Amino acid sequence: MMSDRKQFVMVMVVAAVFVGWLGWRGFEVISLNERLKTDDMVASYPYKHRVLRVEGDTAIMSSLRSHTTPTHTALSAVFPSMRNLGDSDRDWQRAERELAQVQARAGDVVLGASGISRIRWELDENWYHLQFMKSKYDTRL
């Protein structure tokens, strides 16, 4: 049977390894997001693409688009002044291409980091919520 002292040391070692692992994962996400901030194309876009977490060799990144959220909804949130334009308007088409290019570039920047070989995009529901709250607050002023 193991003594109390040995059990305590064992638990502390396991806890230290776990905390270190969590810290490393946090550092990895922070460093990937810093890479995104240093890229001129990605950093200058109104929506800030970011790494949410890393799972193995896959970076999960935020996106304004998903199969349930169309590009039109995303662009209306980023560029409220475009809401009244028709879908075939040149400005919409240009904005769609720009969003796709910036998102692709953000993915390439992250894929350029060591240890990352895949990107999985996840709808940034928090950003949409914050935009909704901001617009709700702005209309009350």
Determine phi and psi for 43, rounding to 5 degrees. Answer: -70, -30
- Coil, strand or helix at 26: helix
**Whole-angstrom distance, CA of residue 74 vs CA of residue 84:** 14
The upper half-sphere exposure of residue 22, i.e. CA atoms within 13 Å in the direction of its Cβ, equals 6
The order of strands in the sheet holding 58-63 is: 51-55, 58-63, 118-123
- Coil, strand or helix at 84: coil
**Whole-angstrom distance, CA of residue 103 vs CA of residue 72:** 15
pTM of the model: 0.74
pLDDT 10s digit of each residue in the chain, 141 long? 567 777 777 777 777 776 665 555 568 899 999 999 999 999 999 999 999 999 999 999 999 888 888 888 888 888 888 888 777 788 888 988 999 999 999 999 999 999 999 999 999 988 887 777 776 666 554
